[in-house]
Structure 1
Amino acid sequence: MTLTCLFDINETVLDLSALDGLFSELFGDPHSRELWFAQTLQNAMTAELCGRHAPFETQGQAALDMVGERLGRSLTASDKQRVAAALKALPAHLDVRPGLDFAREQGVHCIAFSNNARAATQAQLEHAGLSDAFATILSAEEAGASKPATATYRQAAASLGQPAERLWLVAVHAWDIAGAQAAGFKGALVQRRPDQVANPLAPPVVTGSDLREAVARILAHEGRS
């Protein structure tokens, strides 16, 4: 039976730190990109809890305004367009291509799974040179929700025609792992940085220091190493 792994895109596959220079220029703060992404996630999760879903890109635009207000900077429409364009031109983390190639060599069915709309993710992967690395792209938007809402993972499983229990979610985010496992997936945490820690209330099944190690541990867990 084919082993299928879904890979989170923003931060797990693509390196958001490439935005740091632009955000420092726009906001005058070297940590503003981290503040913005955290605010985007908070906006999206709050919307899901309140039953007020809006697209992830919309949540990100709202987060730009919120960070600007916090830091005393007001972005123009042109500034926001620069951010939107930069988000579609992110590089992959250095371990990603070797990790995905290893996964495919081992017969793993690799799926891109993002909160972004499918077209946006496709543009990101094409720019990063990874459009050939995934069998298909799935968007949480297809469930009318954002990860980590349970509906997003269940919709992904339905789209693939597989039971959730046979699927793996690979991510650097503990919240994504928690959401996937609540929906029946198995979770693999990629822990590139010390701050990318597991949630002890929803621990991943396996953890790896990079993408290849995470995949190798998935294979070992499935008895395929």
Structure 2
Amino acid sequence: MLSSKNVVFDVVGTLVSYDHLFDALESRFGDRFGELGIQPKLLGCCWLETAEREYTYLSLSGRYVTFHRVFEGLFYRMLLYAGIEEPRKFASPEDVAWLVGEWRKLDLRPGAAECVKKLRDAGFTVWCFTAGDLERVGGYFERAGVEMPAANLLSCDSAGVAKPDPNAYKPVLEKLAAKSGAKPWFAAAHMWDVSTARTVGFKGAYTTVLESEPLHDIFGDMEVVADSLPGMADGIIAAEG
């Protein structure tokens, strides 16, 4: 039987930082971006946010495509949005392939390993639910030296339903609640993510490490809000009693 205490984490953006991608953009295009007044981090954020939107819209319209394909395919559109009139002359297919390769090398956030350890030491089973492919996401933990059993990694790809469609979260909730007999937690640094998980029955824990402002007036309340990953773990442990 599963532990009666379970926490499901979003991975990329929450336990994993985007910073390596921003550094890769700076490394590949820094001088040329500088000449055009383009900030690598801002372009990277726009690329990620647009990919999340298009990935979700495709899913909602019944045409699920893996996030990886959407993310890679949108890079030239991002250059156009940034003001580059001929994106395919500015960046080669090899440039895009290299960037996507670096995206697969993202690092865990400071405090992520401590957060996971605190929860496990307190008797929680830690799960991950991601829009990413399991091989890539598992690699983030492996390179960081943090054990994350393959059985505890769950992906939207399995059912072909993207977060934040409530139907993406329901099978995860039902699996954990049925086997453990208790209400599990969902933890994320994306307020849209954890707030939707709460609508289907999860308890919610949110950290401001990515977005800074919770915007409760838009997304609603949360059982735990903390300004760090270890702090979020402490809040979950205290709330569980």
1:190 pairs with 2:207: yes
Tell me, in whole angstroms, the C-alpha distance in 1 between the residues paired with 2:175 and 2:101: 29
Gaps of 5+ in 2: none
* Greater gyration radius: 2
**Bigger shift: 141-150 or 63-72?**
63-72
Opposite residue 95 of structure 1, the aligned amino acid is: G
User: TM-score w.r.t. structure 1 length?
Assistant: 0.88
Q: CA contact under 8 A between 2:67 and 2:131: conserved in structure 1?
A: yes
Counterpart residue number, 1:57: 68
Give deviations 1:3-46, integer Å, cap 9, x for gaps.
Answer: 10011111101110121122233482322111111111111222
Task: Verify: 1:13 aligned to 2:51, yes or no.
Answer: no
- Contact kept in structure 1, 2:129 and 2:155, CA below 8 Å: yes
SS at match of 2:146: coil
CA 1:46 to 1:164, structure 2 compared with 1: closer, same or farther past 3 Å?
farther
Q: Which amino acid is the alignment partner of residue 184 of structure 1?
A: G
- The answer as to 2:223 corresponding to 1:205 is yes
1:125 and 2:141 correspond: yes
Residue deviations 1:156-215, cap 9 Å, x none? 234545489711111000110122112211111011256342443432221011112112
User: The residue matched to 1:138 in structure 2 has which SS?
Assistant: strand
**Quick check: 2:173–2:202 contact (8 Å CA) kept in 1?**
no
Q: Percent identity among equivalent residues?
A: 20
Distance of aligned partners of 1:162 and 1:33 in 2 relative to their CA distance in 1, 3 Å threshold? farther
Aligned residues of 2:190 and 2:210 also touching (Cα < 8 A): no
Question: How many residues align structurally?
Answer: 223
Contact in 2 for aligned 1:165/1:184 (Cα 8 Å)? no
Question: What residue number does 1:41 align with?
Answer: 52
Residues 63-78 of structure 1: matches in 2 within 5 Å?
A: 63-71=74-82, 72=84, 73-74=87-88, 75-78=91-94
Point out where structure 1 has 5 or more consecutive residues left out of the alignment: none
1:142 aligns with 2:158: yes
Q: What is the Cα-based RMSD across aligned positions, in Å?
A: 2.3
Paired residue type of 1:17 = D
1:11 maps to a residue whose letter is G
Equivalent residue runs for 1:17-32 within 5 Å: 17-24=19-26, 25-26=28-29, 28=33, 29=38, 30=40, 31-32=42-43
2:186 corresponds in structure 1 to 169
Matching residue of 1:114: 130
The structure that is helix-richer by fraction is 2
Q: What amino acid sits opposite 1:206 in the alignment?
A: V
Given residue 228 of structure 2, which amino acid in structure 1 is its aligned partner? D
- In structure 2, C-alpha distance between the alignment counterparts of 1:76 and 1:156, rounded to whole Å: 40
Task: Summarize deviations over 1:52-106 as a string: whole Å, max 9, x none.
Answer: 2211112212332320221323343222221222122111111111111111111
